[in-house]
Amino acid sequence: MQKWFEDAKLGIFIHYGIYAVDGVAESWSFYNGRMTYDDYMKQLDGFTASQFNAEAWADLIEQSGAKYAVLTTKHHDGVALWDTQYSDLNTVKSTPAHRDIVREYSDAITAKGLKLGLYYSLIDWSHPDYPSVYEGGKVPEDKASVNKYSYPVNGIQDEAKWSQFLEFNNHQLEELLTGYGQVDLLWFDGDWERSAEQWNLPAFKHYLKSLQPDVIINSRLAGHGDYKTPEQGLPITRPEGPWEFCTTINTSWGYVPTDQHYKSLHQIVRMFCDCISMGGNMLLGIGPREDGNIDDRQEAILLGLGKWIRAHEEAVYGTREGIMSRYYGEGSTLSADRKTLYLFVHGDPKGSICLKGLCNKIKKASVLHSGKELTYEIHGGVPWFQIPGTTWIHLTHEDTHELTTVVKLEFDEEVEMYGGSGAVVTHN
Ligand code: GLC
- 189 CB within 6 A, ligand 1: yes
Q: What's the 74 CA to ligand 1 centre distance in angstroms?
A: 12
For the CA of 26, the nearest atom of ligand 1: 9
Mean pLDDT of 337-361: 96
Neighbours of 167 (CB within 10 A): 12
The CA–CA distances, whole Å, from 60 to 49, 54, 273, 299, 303 equal 17, 10, 21, 8, 7
Res. 113: pLDDT tops 90: yes
Mean pLDDT of 28-46: 98
- 184 CB within 6 A, ligand 1: no
CA quadruple 65, 68, 72, 73: dihedral sign: positive
Res. 420: pLDDT tops 90: no
Comparing 115-119, 143-147, 160-164, the range with the smallest average pLDDT is: 143-147
User: What pLDDT was estimated at residue 153?
Assistant: 95
- 399 CB within 6 A, ligand 1: no
CB 219 within 8 A of CB 242: no
pLDDT tens readout for residues 241-254: 999 999 999 999 99
User: What pLDDT was estimated at residue 106?
Assistant: 98
User: What pLDDT was estimated at residue 314?
Assistant: 98
User: What pLDDT was estimated at residue 424?
Assistant: 87
Mean pLDDT of the chain, nearest integer: 97
Cα–Cα distance, 165 to 318 (Å, whole number): 41
- 231 CB within 6 A, ligand 1: yes
Mean pLDDT of 10-39: 98
Closest residue by Cα to residue 67 from 114, 131, 133, 21 = 114
3-class SS of residue 408: strand
Comparing 22-31, 192-201, 221-230, 282-291, the range with the smallest average pLDDT is: 221-230
The CA–CA distances, whole Å, from 144 to 25, 37, 151, 226, 360 equal 25, 19, 11, 37, 65
Mean pLDDT of 169-178: 98
| 128: preceding bond cis by omega (within 30 degrees) | no
Give the DSSP letter of residue 138: P
Q: What's the 393 CA to ligand 1 centre distance in angstroms?
A: 42
User: What pLDDT was estimated at residue 1?
Assistant: 83
Ligand 1: residue whose CA is nearest its atom 8: 190
Give the DSSP letter of residue 383: G
User: What pLDDT was estimated at residue 90?
Assistant: 98
Res. 425: pLDDT tops 90: no
Sheet holding 351-355, edge to edge: 351-355, 390-395, 376-379
Mean pLDDT of 106-126: 98
Closest residue by Cα to residue 267 from 279, 284, 253 = 284
- 253 CB within 6 A, ligand 1: yes
Comparing 53-57, 309-313, 398-402, 423-427, the range with the smallest average pLDDT is: 423-427
Res. 428: pLDDT tops 90: no
Q: What is the pTM of this model?
A: 0.96
CB 89 within 8 A of CB 80: yes
% of the chain at pLDDT higher than 90:
95
- 22 CB within 6 A, ligand 1: no
Res. 426: pLDDT tops 90: no
Mean pLDDT of 358-377: 98
User: What pLDDT was estimated at residue 427?
Assistant: 80
User: What pLDDT was estimated at residue 422?
Assistant: 85
For the CA of 189, the nearest atom of ligand 1: 7
User: What pLDDT was estimated at residue 177?
Assistant: 98
Q: Which are the contacts of 139, defined by CB distance < 8 A and separation ≥ 6?
A: 155, 157
- pLDDT bracket for residue 385 (50, 70, 90): confident
- 244 CB within 6 A, ligand 1: no
Which of 27, 79, 189, 192 should be mutated for ligand 1, with most atoms under 8 A from CB?
189
User: What pLDDT was estimated at residue 92?
Assistant: 98
- 119 CB within 6 A, ligand 1: no
User: What pLDDT was estimated at residue 384?
Assistant: 86
Q: What's the 362 CA to ligand 1 centre distance in angstroms?
A: 45
CB 59 within 8 A of CB 4: no
% of the chain at pLDDT higher than 70:
100
Q: What's the 357 CA to ligand 1 centre distance in angstroms?
A: 41
